[in-house]
Structure 1
Amino acid sequence: MTEATTNPIDRLSEAGVSVWLDDLSRERLRTGNLAGLVADLDVVGVTTNPSIFASALAKIDAYDAQLRELASAGADVDAAVFAITTDDVREAADVLRPVYDATDSVDGRVSIEVDPRLAHDTRGTIDSAKALWAAVDRPNVFIKIPATLEGLPAITAVLAEGISVNVTLIFSLERYAAVLDAFLEGLERAHDNGYNLRTIGSVASFFVSRVDAAIDPRLDALGTPEAAALRGKAAIANARLAFGLYEKVVAGDRWQALAERGASPQRPLWASTGVKDPAYPDTLYVSELIAPGVVNTMPEATLLAFADHGEVRGDTVSGTQAESARVVSDLAALGVDLDEVTAQLEVEGVQKFEASWEQLLSTVSAGLGQVAR
């Protein structure tokens, strides 16, 4: 196909980017909206998180029938949330299963996150991941585990049990390097445990827009031309440097030994790609992060915007390491410490997901009470 006969999403896919939707709801499933996005806009995966489920469950009417069943069975709120979310993810996994089969298990994946209250509990995270994997019972599910210090050994342990993992809430290069190491160790253990590495998938969700949202106000406060020139550059530079780390790992002997045993790489996934500053193009974190073999998970608004007017200029990541390193260096010269910012973003990310989870629990609790009357 030529550019004239394809839309920007088609060209993005042709450039090697897997397009995923960062949203899920029972309404989206029941109306056929998700299936339509798969058919019409090359969506080949779905990610969820506690905030997405909290938003979905706010439309409680879609869950009335299941809430009545759960209330009649005497389910408590935690059990109800577990049942509702795993049911939605299972159904979405079935919608994406043809993609999973057609891509030899690379795409067609649906992610569900462990209880965010366990972000600093290694054992609890492992147990939660196993429970979610068993409950959804689909080969094309990813269990999301946050890249906290306590999450790192959980990532290794879960992969070692043959469970596919989406590592989430990655902000810093240092933590991403540790995630890559946890992934390699997990696959090595999985092989030692007798698992077929071809069946284990993984992505690493590197968060993008939140970095600019945190750094731009600091630059604005400085009020200098040098600071203004760096607005909107930190997040893309950070992500591009992360891709450089990924390239080093897949070029290394340790990875090559796993690849020879049938393993697939842990692909970088660009998360938080919705633009938060209206001064920036609404497709910024898509068009500037195009590289073969990456995933970009987009809110629906970003997906539709890119389908309408997104620009694909080929690979916009490879060969940008020196330029990206200069951005980080220039930020440091102005007193903006990227490591400090990303450490705080991890703390805030866990807190936001915990707050969304509490909101989700409150909504389901109220729903159980209402249908029980």
Structure 2
Amino acid sequence: MTQNENLAALSAAGVSVWLDDLSRERLSSGNLAELVETRSVVGVTTNPTIFQGALASGHAYEAQLTELVSRGAGVDDVVRELTTDDVRNACDLLTPVYDATGGQDGRVSIEVDPRLAHDTDRTIAQAHELWKIVDRPNLLVKIPATLAGLPAITSVIADGISVNVTLIFSVERYEAVISAYLAGLEQARQIGRDLSRIRSVASFFVSRVDSEIDGRLEKLGTEEARGLLGQAGVANARLAYASFERVFGGSNDLWNGLKTAGAHVQRPLWASTGVKNPDYSDTMYVSELVAPNTVNTMPEKTMQAFADHGEVRGDTVSGTADEAQRVFSALADAGVDLADVFVKLEEEGVDKFEKSWNELLEATSQQIDAARQRS
């Protein structure tokens, strides 16, 4: 098998291609392995919505669920075992990538219970639990970038656990995430941990920003507002990358000391890259966000669209901060309350994952009841 040329070109430009999906069926059918071999996939991300969809469809989990029920497992235990088994198996599948890239890629993410998004101590405890259960060095534990999540990120990094920070919408919060990561590394260094073994990505959401801001621009209805449609998501990500370059590009004294001690940069990860507006190019959140030291985690539909007709036009991010800032200044001038946008997006993001998690628990509970009736 050979790699798709478009996705191979994206990888060569410094963008790690990760799949934003995981299921038992993908693993058992060989689909994930095929994507690694033909679509340059070097990582996998999951979230509660993805797991809810995976466990609700098909019969791939039926035998294991029945076995767990026979041992008296409750709904939380069943969900934990099913999901961590999938993630562990995906980690094993991607171990050759992990080894070949020195630990940079070959990563699989699993998220802490979204109901803990505003509870620092319980987030820390569950991050440790997931790290121990999966027991693979190429795991990333996903922690949301809520205000309660920030100190959890620092604590977990300090304990040597690699983290995918999720649900980042604003540049201000992204910069706080970077600070939390550096603080964790500094604590790890002070207690003698090997910093080279700690990795992190910062998942910056893109399409959801356009969806929210475009709705407000349409409501404003002015010619000025309509002229800004579809620009906010990419501009926001480009401003985030400028922050990444400022910190990790050599001008930050704390980072420079950590780098000397073996630390790795916290790569920006472009998340929510499936295009929701049919008027926009279905590959815009890939082709417009090409830059070194980044990750793009894509739904399979977006990945296949890029494989078919995506274009790599070189680095489309570096040096664009001034232009991106002009977009945001114009949005504010047009009447968009940007602070309110980002508060709403974070609240909705947490609520969406919590809703999916509750639906997952409910569906699993029903499957447990059915298994008990069969036995």
Aligned counterpart for 1:111 among listed residues 106, 109, 112: 109
Distance in 1 between residues matched to 2:140 and 2:191, nearest whole Å:
20
1:143 maps to what in 2? 141
Q: Is the 8 A contact 2:4 2:38 kept in 1?
A: no
Distance in 1 between residues matched to 2:54 and 2:352, nearest whole Å:
16
Amino acid at match of 1:270: W
Distance in 2 between residues matched to 1:142 and 1:204, nearest whole Å:
11
- The runs of 5 or more residues in structure 2 that have no matched partner are none
- The runs of 5 or more residues in structure 1 that have no matched partner are none
Amino acid at match of 2:233: A
1:70 maps to what in 2? 68
Distance in 1 between residues matched to 2:115 and 2:366, nearest whole Å:
20
Amino acid at match of 1:303: M
The CA deviation string for residues 336-360 of structure 1, in whole angstroms up to 9 with x for no partner, is 0222101110000000000000011
Q: Secondary structure at the match of 1:215?
A: helix
Aligned counterpart for 1:191 among listed residues 186, 189, 192: 189
Residue 106 of structure 1: how far off its partner (Å): 0.3
2:225 maps to what in 1? 227
The CA deviation string for residues 40-68 of structure 1, in whole angstroms up to 9 with x for no partner, is 11000000000000000111511011111
1:256 maps to what in 2? 256
- TM-score, normalised relative to structure 1: 0.98
Residue 319 of structure 1: how far off its partner (Å): 0.6
Distance in 2 between residues matched to 1:73 and 1:186, nearest whole Å:
40
Q: Secondary structure at the match of 1:61?
A: coil
CA RMSD across the alignment? 0.9
For structure 1, which segment, 330-339 or 143-152, has the greater mean C-alpha deviation from structure 2 after superposition? 330-339
Q: Is the 8 A contact 1:60 1:367 kept in 2?
A: no
Q: Is the 8 A contact 1:147 1:169 kept in 2?
A: yes
The CA deviation string for residues 267-316 of structure 1, in whole angstroms up to 9 with x for no partner, is 00000000000000000100000001100000000000000000110000
Distance in 2 between residues matched to 1:203 and 1:88, nearest whole Å:
21
1:155 maps to what in 2? 153
Amino acid at match of 2:104: V
The percent of aligned pairs where both chains have the same amino acid is 63
Q: Is the 8 A contact 2:15 2:293 kept in 1?
A: yes
1:338 maps to what in 2? 338
Residue 222 of structure 1: how far off its partner (Å): 2.1
2:18 maps to what in 1? 20
Amino acid at match of 2:286: V
Residue 225 of structure 1: how far off its partner (Å): 2.0
1:246 maps to what in 2? 244
For structure 1, which segment, 246-255 or 221-230, has the greater mean C-alpha deviation from structure 2 after superposition? 221-230
1:180 maps to what in 2? 178
Residue 6 of structure 1: how far off its partner (Å): 6.2
Q: Is the 8 A contact 1:198 1:264 kept in 2?
A: yes
Counterparts of residues 34-49 of structure 1 (less than 5 Å)? 34-49=32-47
Distance in 2 between residues matched to 1:362 and 1:275, nearest whole Å:
30
Distance in 2 between residues matched to 1:186 and 1:282, nearest whole Å:
37
Distance in 2 between residues matched to 1:315 and 1:338, nearest whole Å:
27
2:281 maps to what in 1? 281
Aligned length: 369
Structure 1 residue ranges (4+ consecutive) displaced by more than 3 angstroms after TM superposition: none
